[in-house]
Structure 1
Amino acid sequence: MSNILVLNSSVSGEASVSRLLVADAVTELTQRDPNAKVVFRDLAADPLPHLLPSTVAGVRATASTPAEEEARRLSDELIAELRAADTVVIGAPMYNFSIPTTLRAWFDHILRPGVTFRYSEAGPEGLLTGKRVIVVESRGGLYSEGPGQAADFQEPYLRQLLGFAGMTDVTFIRAEKIGFGPEFREQAVADSRAELAKLPA
């Protein structure tokens, strides 16, 4: 039995392409492993608090106040979910050329020195290895090639954040040009579903 952690971050509700394709990815994975345990976390409907001066030590240093201890408890909970997962599915729409702030807040809580990464003389080392990550990216324009590629601060950023924690087996499913009109949206969804169907077991 495998464990799957599913993160959604789109604020678009039923109109969200990333949510639609995340659901397809979960269906594909659970059809292959009907006994898989799936944990869902909706970062848009139930957003995580951003780190503040009153809470940051709970994640980055030693918790000594109630607010810091609460931040540490939440960080522990999120990291435990991630540690337990064999596969992580992330819905990451492109907002202002990058990722939603709610998804960034999740990374702020799970990237913890000495816990999910550490520094050595050889440089930083990610400690959450051996996981498979599937990232569904929805984009209004075309950013995987052509002139728009220079403005893609979404995929390189996600690859860096995941890799920093040791998650290097990452597949990106890109639904692009969805802002060009309904026919482009339909084609982007169809193309992404075809990519999901080809994912290795």
Structure 2
Amino acid sequence: MEFARPIARLVDELMRLPGIGPKTAQRLAFHIVRMGPDQARRLAESIVEARERTRLCSVCFNFTDADPCRLCQPGSGRDRSVICVVEEPKDVTAMERTRAFKGLYHVLHGALSPMEGVGPEALKVQELIARLGSGEVREVVLATDPNVEGEATAMYLARLIKPLGVRVTRMAHGMPVGGDLEYLDEVTLARALEGRREI
């Protein structure tokens, strides 16, 4: 079925978004077309505003509309002796939802992936090392994803950071709450055993 040209263009643009296939793009496009003019305008303006006003924090490289971001600002009450290193800004949001981490963050904006041509120079690695030069940081928590790229990135960073006299820790990986042993892969089970603790 052919769509009117403006709807077809909207569907094409929506399909460029991650996780949006043709059917979802069509549903979204038809929903947007049915919106009232004010609602559609607000949606369009919010997209433009988010794109134009969002920048990277000059300290942690998370997305922000003020520099430094609210977490890095002096007086934020965060523990400045601990930095949690994550791959993407969305990982900061996930960590903050737990309300368990009270330190600062550092966003790499990716992970090492030689197969895709992503080396250390493409990430915010040198900026992390520069932050550690102040002597204020006592621990770096590596919270990269538990996949091949994330593990390689964590090992690379650990080798760079340890000679600086900063403690390097890795987020524990293992069995999810509510998971069944029979459905877990060998790597997950091995990690769960390595990260076991006394009860």
The answer, yes or no, to whether TM exceeds 0.5 is: no
> Greater share of strand residues, 1 or 2?
1
Instruction: Report 1 or 2 for greater relative contact order, CA contacts < 8 Å, sequence distance ≥ 6.
Output: 1
> Greater share of helix residues, 1 or 2?
2
TM score, norm. by length of structure 2? 0.34
Largest Rg, 1 or 2: 2
TM score, norm. by length of structure 1? 0.34
